[in-house]
Structure formats: C-alpha cells, structure tokens
Chains A and B, each alone.
Chain A
C-alpha cells in the first residue's frame, strides 16, 4: 500500500531545520494541517539519488518531547501514534554542532521511542570556527546511528544526507540511552498492558501527556489519572529525574567524542552587536527606526503591485460583462464574488512584504532581542515580551499576527495578546482613515513642516496602540489564571538572513492567505450582494418599472437613470431596510442610515467601506477613484434636517468607530481557530463594540 517513504525532520529551534527542509524539497512543498489540530503541517517531496521519491515532513521545532507551547504537542502525537496519517518511517534529527549537549537531549528522547533515526549534524562549519572538534565516526558508533555532517547554509552535506536516507533501514538500530522503566516501573507496566504498548518510554510519555493526546480515549485518560494517584507518581519529579539521567548519558558520550578548544568566535561577534542593539538608549532608538523603515517600505513598495492587482480585477470585470450573458448569475459572479475577491487580493503585496520583513527579523535573531528588551514593559500590562511580535504584525494584518501568538507558552499571556491584537490599526483601516481625514482635515503645514493630515493619521495609529495596551492591562486584572508565566528563551547567534527562506515564507503566506481568507470573503460577499440586490415583496420590481417608464427616460439620460435607480434600489433592499432599522441606535454617534449600511457591510471586512460608500452615494465608475466619492460625501446632506452629513464631528466619530470595532470576519474565524472556543471571539466582538460605541459617542459630542 504505502509506497513512498515518509521522513520527519525534528530538532531544536534555531538549528537550521527549515533550511534543510527547504533545500530538500525546494518549491515542491505544501502547507496543510495535522489531522484534528490547527498546527501548520509543512511537507514536501524530495527525490533521492537513486530516483526514489520520499515525503519530508517538517515538525515544529522543540527542545524536548515535553511540550511547552501549543505547536510542540504535535511532535509526540505524530511520533508515538502509528495510526496517525503523518507517522514517519524514519526520523531525521537535526542537531546544532555548536551546541551538541542541549541538542542531544531531544535525540535521546526520540531514540527511546524506537523509531529508525538519522542524526543530521548541522552547522559543522561554525563548530570548526568555534574550535569544537567532533569525532563523527566515534559519535555514530557510540550511538549506533548514522550521523551526517552538514553546513546547510553553504549547501554542504545535503547529498550525503539524501543517500543516508536512501540507505536507511526500517529497523531501529540505536543503542538504548537510559533505563526508562526505572523511573516508574509499576505504572509503566500497568499502562503498557492496558493500552497494549510495547515501548516503556511511549507509555511514560502518555502518562505525562494523556490529556493533550488526541488518540487517547477519555476513559483511558481518566484511568491513567487514577493510576498516577495509586502509584504515587509525581510528573515533575519524574521528568527531573529523567532529564538528569539523560544528561548523564549525553555527558558520557560527549566526553569521548568532542573536544572543546576555546570559546566560539562568532559568539563574541554576537556579543559585540548586542552591545549596541540591546543598549539602554540605542537599543530602543534602533528598534523604532527599524519599525519606521519597515512600515514606510510596506506602504511604498506595495503601491505599484496593488495598483496592478486592481487593474487586473477591473479588466476581469469588464471582460465578464462583455462576454458573459447578462443576468443574475453574471451579476452575482462579477458584483458579488469578483468584487469581494478584489477587495482582499489587493492586500496581498502588503501581507507578503510584512511576512518577508518579519521573517528577516526572526531569521537574523533580532526578534529575540526585541522580546528580551520589551519583556519587562509588556509584563506590566499583562503581556509577555513575546507579545511584541503579534502586536507589531497587527499594524499590517491581525490574522497572521494572531497565529504568531502561538509561541507564547503562558495561556493567559497568549489569550490577552490575541484579544488586543485586533485593536492595533491594521492596513485595512488605512483607506478609511485617509478618506475621512481628507474630508474634514485641511491639508496645511503645522510648524512649517508637519503635514496636518499626516499628523492626524499618525495620531490614529498611536491611539490604537495605546488602547491595546490599556485593554491588556484591564484584562490582566479580570482574567484569572494560576499558571505561572515564564520567559526562558534562547538568544540565537546573529546570522545573515537566508533570502530563499524569506522568499519561500512570502510565497507560503500568500498561498495560505488566498485560500483561507479567500473562502470566507467569497461566501460573505455573495450574502452581501444578495442582501443589497433584493428586497422584500415587489419593491425592487416596482423601482425597475418606474425607471423604465417613458416619463423618466425622456427626462434623464441613461447614465443618470442608472445612478438614481441603483441608489433607490439599495435603499429598498434588505441591506437598506436594515440600515434604516439601526439608524436610531447610531444617531447618537452622528451616523445616518447610509453609514449604517457601511458599518454592516464592513463587518465582513473593513475594506468594503469605501466600496459601499461609493455605491451609496451613487458614484458610477470604479471604486479606486477616491475623488468622486469624497466630493459626493462632502456634499451629502441629511434627508430630515438638511444639515451636512460629514461634519468634523461625524468624520472623527466614524474613524474612532472603525479604529476600535471588530469589523473583520477573518479575524473572528482565526480567533476561534486558535482558542478552539467560541466564547473568545464573542467576548472580543462585544467588548470592542462597546468600546467603539462609547468612544465614538464621546468624540461626537465633544466635537459637535
């Protein structure tokens, strides 16, 4: 049945595991999910020298089989369950040659699972530079495992690794490491018998992890719980004893195989760099300069590709209208699906660039230093140093940022980070801010060199960050947790970014974004299109009749009729009726029913706002032209009072509402996916709604 060999890559973080994965699979890789969990599964095909194709799976980086974060749980799950669809035939353990002792801990754990293993000893060039001499043959014979020396960044040793994979056997040959049974003899025996497991270390790990393992039945889990009490099993004491035994084994091996001559040179270079990058003053100055440069580039470099994408979609829509038969289906396809897709796809360049920058920051080791510098500050407001990464990412898009919060081990820190990240002004709010600011803020210079409009825009961004921090602080007080928060993190040596890794990250992020967000957006835009195109009873038919009468056609040109007709249709559609219905509740904020419709359509995604405004204020032509929308909005008057709709008070109130309200289906979907509970996206939706409503109300009444 199973013809292709399945190989899993396992290793500590920062060992070059993904470099090896990319080198083996190239563009021949895909991102999927492990069955039943939301951890990204990176896999790909690799062709060996003898023509054989093998499947390579990149498992999340971890220091040990005892998981510390959500992602790491998957490693033992996949390796210990032969029925898991990702269970490997062979494990390649990637180890950092410059830091062999800590890296071998994971090896000894996996070796005891009795799976066939190969050790890929990476960064051999760095080890040589650091005067660490490793006797590869002695190491291989002491462990009785194939050991391949690599310097993956220089593409050295990859061919040897491939041939080691093709010569591998399906029988685990490695020598035993420690006496596992000795840790809890009776308990291991009992569990092995009940679950029919023949490996004592698998049994022991199941005792530790049974609550998190998908393949352990509920009744077995409860039974293990009882057994732990009967046999007086203390998990932490057992783990401590095991870890010490493993390091004793490792020290013995290293004594005979490794010679340390002097301190590593690169370490000293890293120390010198850190002297500036984590300096009391310069550290923060450099950090903010880097952030500033990143956001400047994201906006500057994405302008042209974004225009290109818009042009392609306009061209596609024209093509559709020309060649497809006119009718409901064509309308749905073009005005519903295509319009919805174009609203999302224009953000591809910004998202790809943001991912590229974040991957460079992580790849070089700088992100770890930012975390190190900010931890104390973040902890004061209930976050962790590791929350800085998602919060920075939130300036571009909350969806990938919330996913990146997985690296935060502490549950409370992670939940608070997820809950406040959508408050940070993302790139989808930018078109709304710029439109409204240009409407009510004069474009003049303050102090002779600061553009007033630009200043207001920057204040909106600052306000969003301040609010995120305030809310985090409030949540720190409300949310109860007895889990200890801790911060034990490797500071990797500074390295040059690997550009093909950066390119592959960009490519992967685009692919995930298009497929994941695309699905939601297409569904929502179809619903919106239906609600905006149809109304109850025969209202819409009557409007059609009214405008095709000769009285109308003689009075107006065809173009004018189309404009009048579509705006009256919208008013009488289901969406329009809802807008009218909610009008009383949003009047205190200074909004009329048309803004109400925009607020509703924006719940699919904020970027829909400009498009909805364009339709509502009956501007024909494409949405990309801001000027006509702006003029129409500036002239719009309230039907009842006759006063201007977009006063300074209304515009600012609206901006504040968009800044704080949770108007993004994709974010809510990802929050559910990450927390696996509906209560978190629901709580988030309502607290943000209350916050947005309250703040808008205050702003409107202050400026009125």
Chain B
C-alpha cells in the first residue's frame, strides 16, 4: 500500500521509501519509517494532497506520495 492510494481520512504507518532522493527530503520534513500519516485533504484539482505527520500538516504531490510505502 502506498500513501498515494489512501482516501481522505485514512491513516497508515510509514514502512519505507522507494526513491532515495525523495526519501532524504521527506525524512527532513518528519516523514520517518514508523511514523503515522493521515490524509486530511486532496487539492480541488485532485493533486497535491495534504497529510498530517509528526504533529503538523504537510502537502506533497501524489507522485511524491507514491514513493512512500505503508505497513
């Protein structure tokens, strides 16, 4: 299951990343393996999405969210 596949309100726990370059940037922003993520909103045109992670809201594109594998 990938983060990009979650619907609004659904939650998951980060397992790993499939893209090294993206993983470095995501981890700096608090997206770490073991951390819970919840999809809060999807932008009016369907992309990007807004998620809650380590206590704050982060927006990222679906393509970026698809590099995050959930448990």
In the bound complex, residues from chain A placing their C-beta under 8 Å from that of B29 are: 63, 102, 488, 490
Q: Determine which of B25, B32, B58 lies in contact with A486 in the assembled complex, contact meaning CB atoms within 8 Å.
A: B25
* A240:B57 contact, CB within 8 angstroms: no
* A236:B20 contact, CB within 8 angstroms: yes
Tell me if A166 is interfacial: C-beta within 8 Å of chain B.
no
* A243:B61 contact, CB within 8 angstroms: no
Tell me if A375 is interfacial: C-beta within 8 Å of chain B.
yes
The complex places the Cα of A247 from the Cα of B43 at a distance, in Å, of 30
In the bound complex, residues from chain A placing their C-beta under 8 Å from that of B24 are: 66, 236, 239-240, 243
* B45:A488 contact, CB within 8 angstroms: no
Chain A nearest CB, measured from B22 CB (Å): 7
The count of chain A contact residues (Cβ–Cβ below 8 Å) is: 43
In the bound complex, residues from chain A placing their C-beta under 8 Å from that of B48 are: 372, 375-376, 385, 487
The complex places the Cα of A99 from the Cα of B30 at a distance, in Å, of 10
Q: Which of B23, B56, B60 has the most CB of A within 10 A?
A: B56
The complex places the Cα of A279 from the Cα of B43 at a distance, in Å, of 8
A243-278, CB < 8 A from B? 243-244, 247, 264, 267, 270-271, 274, 278
Tell me if A519 is interfacial: C-beta within 8 Å of chain B.
no
Interface membership of chain A positions 221-248, coded 1 if the CB is closer than 8 angstroms to chain B and 0 otherwise: 0000000000000001101100110010
The complex places the Cα of A125 from the Cα of B1 at a distance, in Å, of 38
The complex places the Cα of A271 from the Cα of B51 at a distance, in Å, of 11
In the bound complex, residues from chain B placing their C-beta under 8 Å from that of A375 are: 43, 47-48, 61
* B43:A372 contact, CB within 8 angstroms: yes
In the bound complex, residues from chain B placing their C-beta under 8 Å from that of A271 are: 40
Interface membership of chain A positions 674-694, coded 1 if the CB is closer than 8 angstroms to chain B and 0 otherwise: 000000000000000000000
In the bound complex, residues from chain A placing their C-beta under 8 Å from that of B23 are: 240
In the bound complex, residues from chain B placing their C-beta under 8 Å from that of A283 are: 44
* A240:B27 contact, CB within 8 angstroms: yes
The complex places the Cα of A492 from the Cα of B50 at a distance, in Å, of 11
The complex places the Cα of A63 from the Cα of B54 at a distance, in Å, of 14
Interface membership of chain A positions 477-490, coded 1 if the CB is closer than 8 angstroms to chain B and 0 otherwise: 00000001011111
Tell me if A491 is interfacial: C-beta within 8 Å of chain B.
yes
Chain B nearest CB, measured from A506 CB (Å): 29
Tell me if A377 is interfacial: C-beta within 8 Å of chain B.
yes
Tell me if B64 is interfacial: C-beta within 8 Å of chain A.
yes
* A486:B50 contact, CB within 8 angstroms: no
Interface membership of chain A positions 41-74, coded 1 if the CB is closer than 8 angstroms to chain B and 0 otherwise: 0000000000000000000000110101000000
In the bound complex, residues from chain B placing their C-beta under 8 Å from that of A492 are: 57
Measured as residues with beta carbon below 8 angstroms from the partner, the interface class of chain B is 20 to 34
In the bound complex, residues from chain B placing their C-beta under 8 Å from that of A547 are: none
The complex places the Cα of A267 from the Cα of B50 at a distance, in Å, of 13
CB nearest neighbor in B for A101: B54
* B55:A68 contact, CB within 8 angstroms: no
B48-71, CB < 8 A from A? 48, 50, 52, 54-61, 64
Q: Determine which of A63, A243, A284, A487 lies in contact with B59 in the assembled complex, contact meaning CB atoms within 8 Å.
A: A487
* B44:A102 contact, CB within 8 angstroms: no
Tell me if B41 is interfacial: C-beta within 8 Å of chain A.
yes
Chain A nearest CB, measured from B25 CB (Å): 6
Interface membership of chain B positions 1-40, coded 1 if the CB is closer than 8 angstroms to chain A and 0 otherwise: 0000000000000000000111111111110110000001
The complex places the Cα of A704 from the Cα of B1 at a distance, in Å, of 64
* B20:A264 contact, CB within 8 angstroms: no
Q: Determine which of A98, A237, A279, A487 lies in contact with B60 in the assembled complex, contact meaning CB atoms within 8 Å.
A: A487
In the bound complex, residues from chain A placing their C-beta under 8 Å from that of B47 are: 375-376
Tell me if A373 is interfacial: C-beta within 8 Å of chain B.
yes
Tell me if A280 is interfacial: C-beta within 8 Å of chain B.
yes
* B20:A491 contact, CB within 8 angstroms: no
Chain B nearest CB, measured from A274 CB (Å): 6
* B44:A63 contact, CB within 8 angstroms: no
A289-306, CB < 8 A from B? none
Interface membership of chain A positions 369-390, coded 1 if the CB is closer than 8 angstroms to chain B and 0 otherwise: 0001101110000000100000
Tell me if A575 is interfacial: C-beta within 8 Å of chain B.
no
Q: Determine which of B21, B59, B61 lies in contact with A236 in the assembled complex, contact meaning CB atoms within 8 Å.
A: B21
Residues of A within 8 A of B (CB): 63-64, 66, 68, 98-99, 101-102, 105, 236-237, 239-240, 243-244, 247, 264, 267, 270-271, 274, 278-281, 283-284, 368, 372-373, 375-377, 385, 484, 486-493
Task: List 25 contacting pairs A-B, 8 Å CB cutoff, sorted by A.
Answer: A66-B28, A68-B25, A99-B55, A102-B54, A102-B56, A236-B20, A240-B20, A240-B24, A240-B27, A243-B24, A244-B27, A244-B32, A274-B41, A280-B44, A283-B44, A375-B48, A375-B61, A376-B45, A376-B48, A487-B61, A490-B58, A490-B59, A491-B58, A493-B56, A493-B57
A240-B23, A240-B27 are known; give 5 further A-B pairs, CB within 8 A. A101-B30, A244-B27, A376-B47, A484-B22, A487-B48
